[in-house]
Amino acid sequence: MDLREFVKTSIVQIAEGIEEANVALKDSSAMVNPINIAANSESAKVYGRTRAPSKTTPGSRVVDMVEFDVSVVAEVGEQGSAGAKLSIASIGVGADGKKEKSNKSESRIKFSVPIVLPGYNNQS
């Protein structure tokens, strides 16, 4: 899996997981990532908030950080494709079951992505 697909899939699955958890919990008093809340502590671990509320926007939203720490491989194959491919580190085995020959360089990448997670509106 290449890095772009990994990041996209991870963020989509986190957001969909939150939405699905709220649906599964609709008959209980539990809420995952409720909206229209205020932090009770100066040490609340949030990246920030969306812009201040206005007449058309009922409230600002919490912006969380999704942190990634992945091992990636920059690989240049022998088939003459232009550039290097960046993918999540794994053992490469070809369709015939033989290990593919290529020039690889493994590195670790750490980065964070700010995201407003889907919220549950406890007003409805």
- Provide the whole-model pTM: 0.58
Look at residue 27 and tell me if it is in a domain. Answer: yes
Instruction: Give me the number of domains the chain comprises.
Output: 1
Does the residue 120 lie in any domain?
no
Amino acid letter, 17: G
Each residue of 56-93: pLDDT tens digit?
556 677 788 888 888 887 766 655 555 666 677 754 44
d(CA 43, CA 40): 9
pLDDT of 91-116, one tens digit each?
444 455 555 555 667 788 888 888 88
Q: Please give the span between the terminal C-alpha atoms of the chain, in angstroms, as a whole number.
A: 40
pLDDT digits (tens, 9 = 90+) for 13-40: 999 999 999 899 889 877 788 776 666 5
Query: Does 103 reside within a domain?
Result: yes
Half-sphere exposure of residue 7, counting CA atoms within 13 Å on the CB side? 19
